[in-house]
Structure 1
Amino acid sequence: MKHPCKITTVVAITGLVTAACAVSGPTPARDGRRTPPVHAAAHHADGIATVSPTWIDGLRVIRDSGNDRSCPWSIAYPQVPGADAFTAALRRMVEGRRADFLGQACDQPAWELNLDFAFLAASGDVIGVRYTEWWLGGAGDGRSTTTRWYDTETGKVLPASALVEPGSMGKFAAGLGTALARKQGFDPQAFREAMADDASRARYLDDLAFTARGDLVVTFDESVVGVAPAGQLRAVLPAATVRPLLSDFGRRVQRQVVEPERRLRLNGTVSPSPTLPPASEESSDCRRVKCVALTFDDGPGPSTEVLLAHLARYHARATFFVVGQNAVMSPDVVRQTAEAGHEIGNHSWSHRDLTRLTADQVHDDLRRTDEAIRKASGVTPTIVRPPYGAVNAVVRARTPHPLVMWSVDTLDWKYRDAARVTRAALSAAKPGAIILFHDIHPTTVAAIPRVLRTLSARGYHFVTVTQALGGGEIPRTRTVFSGVSPAL
């Protein structure tokens, strides 16, 4: 059976949380679109090939989160111009998982939902995404995985099982059973039931992906074809063995993973990114003038460039706590943010509650995020804001930079109302305040012009967190809650 808190009619989503590997810089195409380098494929620790499709103009990560510590959740999906059906299908999937979580888990203590994804392919006529879901707090390790595929020729969103030719499913299942028989904890009877008919195969064959050599990796969630303590069971079928069993689409996917083309055949168009002037270089001495630090978490998002334009009109500097996964998918926006004079902080790889991770996992998560931001912007973060503000002794010990919280929470993550967000910011603003916003919400971005206009009229200067704290280096062991609060 599936994880006990999951509705069995909903496909699960999770696996190893790993970064979509960054690639070397894109090369210009004749049609003006950026194209992937020849060797775009990389691979996870489990051998599955992934790519960072930074050559897709207008690619964005749509992220949402609930910051209530009693029921934390974070979901995300890619928005691919020209693949609207794929974007919509992924959105429905992750929003369905969030609805399940909120309906079942929020009356339980210490539960968390986190959805992360990586691109498996994004070239030629195929796109593939692998989702990792962590649903923590119940039985088992709370991890599951699923893959979704998109055929740009037909515009159809396809399940993982579509990689296999229906007429070859019997031979495929036999080979899969042979490979799994060597796995500790494998249950042959459960496997036969999972492969019994088309409906069962569509449900349980939900994570199929290729290695960089073209081998097919099939991953089953906990308790599907084995005993629960065995966790997820994986089988690897060699490329030559599996190729005759693949559908036409499956062979196209395998080819694009092994030898990706230098373009993705999509018809989407996007508006060019605006060129913004840098923020004012005027130094604001916050010991002599009124300063406020506006901070924006979870981005970049679809409205971040609009936000940058608002800030530029008021020569305002701000601090953006960026999610590593978003930086990989939208490096141009991160670079533009840094070039405009704003401060870039680390907000973890995929917005997981760091207090649930081991010391090594905390270190690795933040290190990978630092590296993703550095590759995107040329700037390495010097401050960290932990997701949900969740901190313990392990997080403090393994975080490479000072931890920065906030003194004013606008609750924009809870109330998606621009007027309410504006009132919350203006009523609580005071010299030295660090105000928390989230640039992933259009309602928040819509509130910013009035916030800037009103606080400017009150004589405030808009500075980065580091500037608000005196412009010097913040001790790594310090946890900052506001520009005027003592270290905690």
Structure 2
Amino acid sequence: MRTHVLLPSLLLLGSLSLTAACASEASRATTAKARPGSSATASPVRAVDPSKIKGLRIVNDSSENSSCAWATGYPDVPGATAMTAAMKKDVEQRLATFRSTCDSNPTAADGFEFNISHQFLVASGDVLGVRLTTQDSTAAGDGLTRRTYWYDGKAGAYRTALALIGDGSRDAFVAALKSELKGREGTDADTVNEAFTDRSRLVGILDDIAFTADGGLRVTFDRGEVGVPAGGAYVVTFSRATATPWLSAFGRRVQHQTVQPSRSLDLGAAATPTPAVPTRTASGDDDTDCKKVRCVALTFDDGPAAPETATLLTYLAQYNARATFFTVGQNVAAHPDLVRAEARAGNEVGNHSWNHPDLTRLTPAQVAYQLNRTSAAIKAATGKTPTLFRPPYGAINSTVRRATTLSPVLWTLDTEDWKYPDAAKIAATVVDKVKRNDVVLLHDIHPTSVAAVPQILRTLTADGYHFVTVSHLRSTM
């Protein structure tokens, strides 16, 4: 079992010199077997700017238990209630299975990890598409699975991926898939035919279907679904001309909104109020001298979150307190306005990876991708590139250090607020245990953690503490 040892304060806060790694940007990779000229990276899916989705909320949760590490995130879009419910059900079921496996294997040498991240495929007109990617180290093979979820605003209904294909065209669609798959490395006629024999399983096997930017249709099969597990994932891409005749009326609308997206998304929600974003501007550089006064650095991980982060910023402003936010890239992309508000109020914005994986399980290129992509999102929101990062779960090794020039920050006081969703308990933990120059770990994705902050600020201010950013604490110790 990997044990997380907190560094002493001086080592933790001291400047660490890190060597940049020359690595290409690559996410956690899988093998996608394809015919020559039909690679998995051709005709990419069109990028969607989630910050344009009015009323968007990202549902986040995570642990800080390095032996049973998990982090999940999926979107809640106004109007798409049934689709959100379907994602919530799947996420909770998968997480429950993972945690059960963890509980029954408490002495696993390297610990376990579970991660669910999201990607918008289309958010335009009256259609919405989202892909959830699950990484489960307790599962067979590489533990990587994908599923796409669709919402039909015109009908007010959640749709599975197979609903993109017309009922009368499914036999032709399946026949074309089988033809494309047969003969690929790791497959044969028997394995392919067996995968599609039971038509009642089609919804489960054909659960990752999306359109490419030029209107083609891409079908992705997880490892072991249509070939031997060693063959990896398989991707079949059909041109727009080939795929269009197979599409349902809903599928045609999704295809159109993917190729020529509308300027807005309207799923028929009764109301999509935009949460208020604090507009406080810091009065200037913080001149607190932590050599002369008692300082503490409050740090908040995993955000930004709506509306929790906005509420937190209001509390901090009431006490002229500054904090450090270690933000997750996919949440920064969804809520850049909150990140700008953090920076504008004199807080520090740090990097907490794109989707909260254990970085020590990744290659140098994957680590660089996670951190570089997040730093780019932070800079786009604030105009400033971050200098600090907090590795998810506090997991860091020489590979991670060499893959980035960002300086790592752990913590000296863990509130365990993810484990105990009790505002009074969280506040008492900080008030009773805090020491001068502590770095306190909290999470702004949890309403109970945010609710604990006023008591923390009120009590510690009365005790003579000053609330500063991590970089300020480092520079004035």
Select between 429-438 and 265-274 the one with higher mean Cα deviation. 265-274
- Name the structure 2 match of 1:385: 390
* Mapping of residues 152-191 of structure 1, within 5 Å: 152-191=153-192
The separation in 2 between residues aligned to 1:448 and 1:44, in whole angstroms, is 46
TM-score between both structures, scaled by the size of structure 1: 0.86
User: Could you say which residue in structure 1 is the equivalent of 2:200?
Assistant: 199
User: 1:183-262 alignment to 2 at 5 Å?
Assistant: 183-262=184-263
**Secondary structure of residue in 1 paired with 2:104:** coil
Match of 1:275 among 275, 278, 297: 278
Alignment-derived partner of residue 113 in structure 1: 114
Distance 2:342 2:455 in 1: 21
Q: CA deviation at 1:377?
A: 1.9
Shift of 1:240: 0.5
Which of 322, 334, 337 is 1:317 aligned to? Answer: 322
Amino acid at match of 2:84: T
Question: 1:278 corresponds to which letter in structure 2?
Answer: T
Give 1:349's aligned residue: 354
Distance 1:367 1:72, change over 3 A: same
- Aligned partner of 2:65 in structure 1 is 68
Amino acid at match of 2:413: V
In 1, Cα distance between equivalents of 2:378 and 2:55:
18
CA distance in 2, matches of 1:17, 1:77: 18
Q: 8 Å contact 1:294–1:464 — kept in the other structure?
A: yes
After TM superposition, the score normalised by the length of structure 2 is: 0.88
The structure with more helix, counted as a fraction of residues:
2
1 CA distance for matches of 2:350 and 2:176?
48
Change in Cα spacing, 1:16 to 1:221, as seen in structure 2 (3 Å) is: farther
Which residue matches 1:151? Answer: 152
The match for 1:405 is 410
Deviation at 1:107, TM superposition (A): 3.5
Is 2:297 the partner of 1:293? Answer: yes
Give the direction of change, closer, same or farther, for the CA distance of 1:87–1:377 in structure 2 (3 Å limit): farther
Tell me which residue corresponds to 1:55: 52
Match of 1:125 in 2: 126
1:58 is displaced (CA, Å) by: 2.4
Aligned to 1:100: 97
Task: Decide whether the 8 Å contact of 1:49 with 1:212 is kept in 2.
Answer: yes
Instruction: Figure out how many residues of one structure are paired with residues of the other and give that number.
Output: 434
Displacement of 1:17 in angstroms is 5.2
Residue 272 of structure 1: how far off its partner (Å): 4.0
Q: Which amino acid is 1:402 matched to?
A: S
SS in 2 for 1:62: strand
Distance 1:167 1:257 in 2: 23
Code of the residue aligned with 1:295 in structure 2: it is: T
Q: Aligned partners of 1:356, 1:275: CA distance in 2, in Å?
A: 37
**1:45 Cα deviation from its structure 2 partner:** 7.3
The offset of 1:100, in angstroms, is: 1.2
Match of 1:85 among 76, 82, 86: 82
* CA distance in structure 2 between the partners assigned to 1:162 and 1:120 by the alignment: 15
Aligned to 2:379: 374
Shift of 1:51: 1.3
Contact 2:163 2:250 (C-alpha < 8 Å) held by counterparts: yes
Higher RCO, 1 vs 2 (CA within 8 Å, ≥6 residues apart):
2
Q: Give the equivalent residue in structure 1 for 2:448.
A: 443
Q: Quote the Cα distance in structure 2 between the aligned partners of 1:272 and 1:297.
A: 21
